[in-house]
Amino acid sequence: MSERPPFGRPHRHLRLTDSTNERARALAQAGSPSGTVVTADEQDAGRGRHGRAWSAPAGAALLYSAILRPLDLRHGLLPLAVPLAVCEAVETLAPVSCRLKWPNDVWIDERKVAGVLIEARPPDWAVIGIGINLSIADGEFPGDLRWPAASVGHGATPGAAREALDAALGRWVEASHEVVLGKFAERDALRGREVRWEGGGEPPSGAGVAAGVDERGNLVVDLPGGGSTALGSGEVSLRPG
């Protein structure tokens, strides 16, 4: 049994907000408990990773931010545990199979259906921000996406997605490092593929073959000249061709 309260209690839903991560951050700073969830129909300043914007038509995506507190050593692999929870939640909504692009993009058939943005003030709290495309039509995605996007489809609604995510997240934030690494390896979409990276490694940019994730959650890349490097953050893309 988890000692923490389940995710989704309390739950605050907003019709329109700037960013659910921003609202959850304000609640965390004001002392809201672990498990607090903020959702919205629409954001006008949604945030993505690497300082990018994240946008979705009203009601067509789950826009979800949860407070986790306090943080301790068990949460070191949170960036990998959260997308595993998203995969599980999505797979309860539709007959689909999810894979992961390190560190935390969720793919269905090589198209991104969900993204994760964790903002934390360790050891006090983390805000786990999750956007899941549910019913966004192909023509409605922004034209400047770095990678093709898709929706879960199959009639998945924000309410059902929220409930599934509350439950899955509650399990995955408590998972052991061993379980997280094992399950991530099963869903790893990059392993064995040629990738290019910018930032987060040594050398700071380059290309090689993805070789899995190490015990600290870094992406290991085998280098063309021999040896390997471990990427802790930064941007990784598949090499074309």
Contact partners, residue 240, CB within 8 Å, separation at least 6: none
Among the listed ranges 17-25, 29-37, 145-153, 176-184, the one in contact with ligand BTN (CB under 6 A) is 17-25
7 forms part of the interface with ligand BTN (CB under 6 A): no
83 forms part of the interface with ligand BTN (CB under 6 A): no
The minimum distance between CB 91 and ligand BTN, in angstroms, equals: 19
Residues 150-179 that bind ligand BTN (CB under 6 A): none
Q: Which two tokens stand for residue 112?
A: 């991104």
CA distance 79 to 100: 11
Helices (H), ranges, the chain: 20-29, 78-93, 158-172, 177-187
Which residue has the CB atom at the shortest distance from ligand BTN? 115
Among the listed ranges 39-47, 67-75, 80-88, 192-200, the one in contact with ligand BTN (CB under 6 A) is 39-47
CA distance 129 to 159: 16
- The helix or strand, by DSSP H or E, that contains position 128, with its residue range, turns out to be strand 125-133
184 forms part of the interface with ligand BTN (CB under 6 A): no
Q: Which two tokens stand for residue 72?
A: 């301790």
Residues 101-120 that bind ligand BTN (CB under 6 A): 105, 115-117
**Residue 65 and residue 41 in contact, taking contact as beta carbons nearer than 8 Å:** no
The minimum distance between CB 24 and ligand BTN, in angstroms, equals: 8
Distance of CA 207 to the CA centre of its chain: 24
Among the listed ranges 6-14, 42-50, 94-102, 147-155, the one in contact with ligand BTN (CB under 6 A) is 42-50
Given the rule CB under 6 A, which residues bind ligand BTN?
A: 19-21, 43, 46-49, 52, 54, 63-65, 105, 115-117, 129-131
